[in-house]
Structure 1
Amino acid sequence: MLNRYPLWKNLMVILVIAIGLLYSLPNLYGEDPAVQISGTRGQEVKTAELGDVQTLLAENNLPLKSIVLENGSILARFNNTDDQLLAKDKITEKLGNNYSVALNLAPATPKWLTDIGGSPMKWGLDLRGGVRFLMEVDMNTALTKRQEQLQDSLRTELRKEKYQYSAIRSADNFSTQVTLTKQEQLSDAQRFLRKQHPTLDIKEISNNTLSLGLSDSALAEARDQAIEQNLSILRRRVEELGVSEPVIQRQGAERIVVELPGVQDTARAKEILGATATLEFRLVNPNANLDAAARGMVPSDSEVKLDRHGNPVVLYKRAVLGGEHITNATSGVDQNTSSPQVSVTLDSEGGEIMSQTTKLNLKKPMATLYVEYKDSGEKDENGKTILAKHEEVINVATIQGRFGSQFQITGIDSPAEAQNLSVLLRSGALTAPIQIVEERTIGPSLGAQNVAQGLEAGLWGLGIVVLFMLVYYKLFGIFANIALLANMVLLVGLMSLLPGATLTMPGIAGIILSVGMSVDANVLIFERIKEEIRNGRSVQQAIHEGYNGAFTSIFDANLTTILTAIVLYAVGTGPVKGFAITLSLGVAISMFTAITGTRMLVNLIYGGKRVEKLSI
C-alpha cells in the first residue's frame, strides 16, 4: 500500500527525536557562579580543607547554593557573581599558595541528566566569554639552560679529543669561556669547535682562552625558537584539557596569549598550562657520606637534593636522561604494591641511553628528580616576577636489570598526582619556564547586546519562515514547521553531545543557513507533489512521486554543501571551523527531518486512504 511506513520506522523517528530532546534539555538550566579549589601538582584536597572553606564562608556571611568535594577538588556554587568574587578573594587569602583557587561557571544540570552524559552545549568566547591567560616566557632561564647544555657537551668533546682544559665557565651575554691548560692546543681546539658548533661565534680572548657566544641574530633566533616550542607544547596541553577552538598566539617578544572558551575546570587549566615540570633521571652517588652532605660537604661531581620528606640524597650532577626524550606517559597502579605509578615511554635515543646506563650500573641506585619553576614572590628591577627552581627527588630505586624505552616511576603520593605528572610529561616539558602574569574571566568579545540582537534577528527570520510555510502550504506547512523544530532540537542535542563542538557566532550563522536549507528541501518536495497532481496523478501517487522524485536533487545539493563544509573544517581555524561544524551537522540532520520526518507525518494523516484533495 502506498505511503505507509512500517511500525519500526515510525518508532525509529520518534526515538531519535526523543533522544535529541533529552540531550538538549541541559541547555535550559543555565550555569551557577562557582569557585573551584584544587591542590597544586595534582594533590587532592581533603575533607579538612572542605570544612575550613565552609567555616570561612559562614564567618563572612557568604551564602552557598551548594559545596561538594569531588575528584580531589572543591566546587562551591553561589547565587550571584558578587558573592563568588568575594569568596574567591577570602579563600585565596586563607589557603595560600598551596592551592589553586579559580573562578568558574558550573552547569546547573540536574544529576539525573549528568548521570546519562547530558551536558550543555559549549559556547565560544564571542558568545559567553571564558578565561584568558597572558603568559610570559622567562627567556633568561631558557638561554641559561642552553648555555649549561653547551658546557656539558664541551666537556665531553674536549676530553674525547684529548684537549686539556682548566676551566669552562659562563660569561656575559650567555657566552661560554674555555680555558685550556696548554697554549699550543688553542688553534687546533678552535678549529675543532668551529667544526662541531658552526652556529657559534668562536674567538680567542687570550693566549689560552676561547670565547663561544651567540651573535645578535642567533640570540634572536634562539628566543623565537623558545617561543615557538612553548606555543607547540601549550597547544598539546590544551588538547589534553579537551578545550575546543582555543586561541593560542604570540604577543610581543616574550608573551603568549591563551583564550579558553567553555572550560569547566579553570583551576586545572591554570595548573596544567602554567606548569613547567619535567623529570631528570640521575644516578645516586653511593660513596657519599650523608652526614657530611647534610653539612654541605659533597664531591665536586655531585650535589645534594632533598626528597619530599626533607631527607638529603646525593646525586651526580650529570643527568642520565632528561624529559625531552619522553614521548608518552600514562598513569596507573603498581600491581604488586597497589600504589600509584607513571609508565614512561622514551624515544629511540633516550631508550638507547637508558639501556646502556642500566647495563653499566646494575644493582646501583638511580633517582627520579622532579624539576619545576615556581613564583618566588620577588620581582626584578623591571617588575617581572622572579621564578625559583624547585627540585625534589620523587623516588630512588635500585637498578635490578637492563631496561630500555619503557619503564615505570613509583613513589608518587596519590593517583591525582600521577595523572597530573603523566599529562605534563606527555604534552612535553616547556623549553623555557613560563608564568601566568594575568588571568581574566572575560565577557563576550562581541558584547552581550550584539549577541542578543543576533539571536533576536535569527528568531524573527525563523518566525517569518514558519508563518510563510503555514500560509502557503497549509497542513503541509505545519508538517514542515514540525520538522524544522525537530531539526533544531536534534542539532542542539548533537552539539551538546559532541566533545569537540563549540557554538560561536559564525556557528549560529551555520545553524540559520541549515534551517533555510531544511525548509528548501520541503519546498522542493511540496512543489513536486503539486506538479504531479496537476499532471493528473492521484493523491497517493503524487505524494509518492513527490518524495521519491525530489530526493535525488535534495541529496545532491546537500552532499555538495557537506563536502564544502568538510573542506572548510580541514583548512580553516577558529570561527571558520565552528561555522563548518554547525552547517554540516545541520544539513545532514535536515535530510532526516525534512524527508523522513515529514514523510512520516504525511503518511500518518494521508497514507493508505482514499483522499480526493490535499491541504497543500
Structure 2
Amino acid sequence: MLNKYYWWQYILIVLFIIIGIIYSLPNIYTDIPIIQINISNKNLSKIKILENIKNKLNVNRISYKKYLIKKNNINIIFFNIENQLQAYKIIKENSNNKYSVIIKLISTIPKWLSFLKAKPIKLGLDLKGGIYFLLRINNDYIFQKLREQNITDLKLILNNKNISFQLKRLNNFNYKIIFSNNVIRNKVFNYLKNKNNNFVNYIIINNGLLVSMKNKWFLELKKAIIENNIDVLRKRVNQIGISDSIVQKKGIDNIIIELPGIQNLSEAKEILGSTATLEFHLVDNNINNIQNNNFSYYLWKNKIPLFLNKKIIIDGSNIIHSNISRSEYNQPQVNIFLDDKGGNILSKFSEKHIGDNIATVLVNYINSDKKDKKGNFIQNKKEEIINIATIKSKLNNSFVITGLKNIKEAKNLSILLRSGSLSAPIQIIEEQNIGPSVGKENIKKGMKACIIGISICIIFMIFYYNIFGIIAVIALFINLIFIISLLSLLPNATLTMSGIAGIVLTLAIAIDANVLINERIKEELDNDISIQKAIDYGYKGAFSSIFDANITNLIISSFLYSLGSREIQGFAVTTFIGILTSMFTSIIITRAIVNIIYGGKKIKKLPI
C-alpha cells in the first residue's frame, strides 16, 4: 500500500528519537562551581578557618551560595565560575600553606543518565573559556647533545691513534676539527668518510674538517622532536585530568595547547612547562676519573660534596611507568618500572657494582633573565640530586626512589615520568587566559544566530506549505536533537563557535530538502494524479536530488576536516553530522509523519 510503513519501522523511528532525546538531556544541566579546602592538621580549627574565609570574601564582595563542613574539609559552593575563580585567588593567598585549596566543578547530571554514559557536549576554548599556551621547542639542546656524543666518539678514535687536534664548537650540531698539518687531516677525513657517513657530513676546510649534520637528517630529527614532545604533552594533559584539550604543532618549532574549562592554572603550568627528567649516575670516588674530567661535582644535603660519573646509566627514556606510594616510615616514594632495555642495563650494571652508590639526578631547564638573538629566554640546566642509594643486590626492571620532600612532589614527579620525557626542552612564550565570560558571550551570540535562523525558516515553511510546513518544522527540531546527541556521544568531538555555524547551515540544508520534496509533490498534483501517488512520487522524485547534493556536501566536509585549521575542522565536523541527520529527518521522519496523517486515506485536497 502507498504511503505506509511497516509497524517495526515506526517503532525503530520512535526508538531513535527517544535515544536522541536521552543523550541530548545532559546539555541542559550545569556544573556546580566549588572550592574544596582540605585540612590535614587536626590542630587547626575548621570553624576559625571558615570564618576567616567568609570575612575575606565579604570584604572583596564575592558572593557564595552556601558552605558545607565535612570531616576533613570545607566545601564552598558558588553561584558562578567568575566568583569561584576570584575566591580561589584570595583563599589561596591567605592559606599560608596550612591547608590545600582545590577548585573544581561538580556535575549535576542525574545518576540514571550517567549510568547510560550520557555526557554533555565538550565545549571548545572559545565557548567554555580556559587557558591558551604557545610553547617553543629548544631544538639546540638536542643538537648540542648529539654533537657532544659525536665529539666523545671522535676523541676516542683520535686519541687511540695518537693524533693531536683542536675542537671548535659552532651552532647546533656543527663543529670544527683542526689538525697540525694537511696530511693528518686527509688521513682522518678518508677514515671518517669510510667509517660513518649515515647522517654526518665531513667537509675539508684549510687544515681541518667541518662536521655537520646532513640536511635530510636535520629536518627528520626536528620533525621527530616535535612529534615526541606533542605525544608527551598530551599524556601529561591526560594525567592531570584536563579533558577536551587540544595539543598540536604550529610551524616547525612551536606547539599550541588549549585547555578549555581549566580550573587549576598553576598546576597545569607546573606540569606542562616542566622539562624535568631523571638521570642515574654512579657516585664516583675514583681519583683517576676525577683527574680525567670524567666526573661532575655536586653539593648534596648539608652541602656534602659528591663526585658523579658523567656517564648516564639509564635516564627517563627507559621508564615506562611510575606511581606513588609510602615507605614503611610513611614517607612519600615513587615506584619506577623500566622497559626491557633499561632493565637489562641496570641489571648488568648493578651486578658489577654491588656496594657502590647510585645518585638519582633530577634534570630541569629553567628560564634565565637573559634572552638570545631571537628574543627567547635562555634556559639554564638545573641538576639536583634527590636520592642516593646503595646497591645491595642485583636490580631488575623496577626500583624505588625516596628522599622526596612531600606527597605533591612525588605525585608531580610520577606524572612527568609516566608521561615520558621530552626530546628537547620547551618554554612557554605566550599564555592567554580566556575567561568564562567570553565563552558565555560566544554561546549567547551562537544561540541568537540559531534562533533567528530557525525562526525565519519556521515562519517561511508554515506560511508557504501549511501542514507540510509544520511537519518539516517538527523534523527540524528532531534533527537538532540528533545533532546534539551525536556531538555528545562522539568521544573526540568538541563544539566551537565555528561548529555552531555548521549547525545553523545544516538546519538550513534540512529545510531545503523539504522544500524540494514539497515542490515535487505540488508538481505531481498539477499533473492530475491521485493525492496518494503524488505524495509517493514526490518523495521518490526528490530523493535523487537530495542524495546527490548531500553526498557532495559530505565530500567537501571531509576535505575541510582533513586539510583545514582547527576552526575549519570544527565547522566541518558539525556540518558532516548535520548533513547525515538532516537526510534522515527530512526524508524518513517527515515521510513517517505524512504516512500517519494521510497514508491510506481518501483525501480530496492536500494542504500544501
TM-score when scaled to structure 1? 0.70
CA contact (8 A) 1:229 1:430 kept: no
Please tell me whether residue 389 in structure 1 is matched to residue 383 in structure 2: yes
3-state SS of 1:371 partner: strand
- Find the aligned partners of 1:102 and 1:170 in 2 and give their Cα distance: 52
Please tell me whether residue 235 in structure 1 is matched to residue 233 in structure 2: no
From 54, 60, 63, the equivalent of 2:56 is 60
- Spell out, residue by residue over 1:108-165, the C-alpha distance to the aligned partner (whole angstroms, 9 max, x if none): 5435355544443233344454312244556776666455434443444445x44378
Distance 1:475 1:308, change over 3 A: farther
- Find the aligned partners of 1:243 and 1:450 in 2 and give their Cα distance: 18
Distance 1:93 1:463, change over 3 A: same
Distance 1:488 1:246, change over 3 A: farther
Query: What residue in structure 2 maps to residue 371 of structure 1?
Result: 362
- Find the aligned partners of 1:116 and 1:562 in 2 and give their Cα distance: 30
Aligned-residue offset at 1:597:
1.4
Show the 5 A alignment for 1:594-605: 594-605=586-597
Q: Tell me, which stretches of 5 or more residues in structure 2 are unaligned?
A: 238-242
Distance 1:68 1:288, change over 3 A: farther
Query: What residue in structure 1 maps to residue 17 of structure 2?
Result: 17
- Find the aligned partners of 1:320 and 1:156 in 2 and give their Cα distance: 19
Distance 1:20 1:46, change over 3 A: farther
From 319, 325, 333, the equivalent of 2:312 is 319
Query: What residue in structure 2 maps to residue 520 of structure 1?
Result: 512
Query: What residue in structure 2 maps to residue 557 of structure 1?
Result: 549
- Find the aligned partners of 2:521 and 2:371 in 1 and give their Cα distance: 80
Aligned-residue offset at 1:266:
5.4
Query: What residue in structure 2 maps to residue 26 of structure 1?
Result: 26
- Spell out, residue by residue over 1:471-493, the C-alpha distance to the aligned partner (whole angstroms, 9 max, x if none): 12211111110110111121122
CA-based RMSD of the aligned residues comes to 5.6
From 472, 476, 481, the equivalent of 2:473 is 481
Distance 1:606 1:491, change over 3 A: same
3-state SS of 1:542 partner: helix
Query: What residue in structure 2 maps to residue 439 of structure 1?
Result: 431
- Spell out, residue by residue over 1:441-462, the C-alpha distance to the aligned partner (whole angstroms, 9 max, x if none): 1259999878755653443222
- Find the aligned partners of 2:280 and 2:423 in 1 and give their Cα distance: 18
- Spell out, residue by residue over 1:530-574, the C-alpha distance to the aligned partner (whole angstroms, 9 max, x if none): 333444443333333333443333223222221221122122221
- Find the aligned partners of 2:255 and 2:100 in 1 and give their Cα distance: 20
CA contact (8 A) 1:56 1:91 kept: no
CA contact (8 A) 2:365 2:379 kept: no
- Find the aligned partners of 2:597 and 2:129 in 1 and give their Cα distance: 47
Query: What residue in structure 2 maps to residue 262 of structure 1?
Result: 260
Show the 5 A alignment for 1:392-541: 392-393=386-387, 407-408=397-398, 411=401, 424=416, 429-436=421-428, 439-442=431-434, 455-541=447-533
CA contact (8 A) 2:249 2:256 kept: yes
Query: What residue in structure 1 maps to residue 123 of structure 2?
Result: 123
From 570, 586, 596, the equivalent of 2:562 is 570
- Spell out, residue by residue over 1:175-196, the C-alpha distance to the aligned partner (whole angstroms, 9 max, x if none): 989999x999975786479746
Please tell me whether residue 276 in structure 1 is matched to residue 270 in structure 2: no
Distance 1:357 1:126, change over 3 A: closer
- Find the aligned partners of 1:320 and 1:131 in 2 and give their Cα distance: 38
- Find the aligned partners of 1:436 and 1:53 in 2 and give their Cα distance: 36
CA contact (8 A) 2:34 2:84 kept: yes
CA contact (8 A) 2:39 2:99 kept: no
Please tell me whether residue 249 in structure 1 is matched to residue 250 in structure 2: yes
Please tell me whether residue 585 in structure 1 is matched to residue 577 in structure 2: yes
CA contact (8 A) 1:132 1:442 kept: yes
Aligned-residue offset at 1:375:
4.7
Query: What residue in structure 1 maps to residue 240 of structure 2?
Result: none
Distance 1:438 1:35, change over 3 A: farther
- Find the aligned partners of 1:568 and 1:67 in 2 and give their Cα distance: 49
Distance 1:21 1:272, change over 3 A: farther
- Find the aligned partners of 1:3 and 1:203 in 2 and give their Cα distance: 88
- Spell out, residue by residue over 1:377-411, the C-alpha distance to the aligned partner (whole angstroms, 9 max, x if none): x745898775633454598877859x8xxx55655
Q: Which amino acid aligns with 1:260?
A: E
- Find the aligned partners of 1:583 and 1:515 in 2 and give their Cα distance: 9
- Find the aligned partners of 1:491 and 1:308 in 2 and give their Cα distance: 61
Q: Tell me, which stretches of 5 or more residues in structure 1 are unaligned?
A: 38-44
Show the 5 A alignment for 1:32-71: 57-58=53-54, 60-61=56-57, 64=64
CA contact (8 A) 1:243 1:261 kept: yes
Query: What residue in structure 2 maps to residue 110 of structure 1?
Result: 109
- Spell out, residue by residue over 1:509-529, the C-alpha distance to the aligned partner (whole angstroms, 9 max, x if none): 322221122112222222333
- Find the aligned partners of 2:570 and 2:410 in 1 and give their Cα distance: 34
Moved more, 18-27 or 410-419: 410-419
- Find the aligned partners of 1:433 and 1:101 in 2 and give their Cα distance: 30
TM-score when scaled to structure 2? 0.71
Aligned-residue offset at 1:200:
7.5
Aligned-residue offset at 1:433:
2.6
3-state SS of 2:433 partner: strand
Q: Which amino acid aligns with 2:583?
A: M
Distance 1:433 1:246, change over 3 A: closer
Identity %: 33
Distance 1:118 1:99, change over 3 A: farther
CA contact (8 A) 1:128 1:444 kept: yes
Aligned-residue offset at 1:15:
2.9
Moved more, 80-89 or 548-557: 80-89
Aligned residues: 570
Aligned-residue offset at 1:581:
0.7
Distance 1:516 1:437, change over 3 A: closer
CA contact (8 A) 2:35 2:88 kept: yes
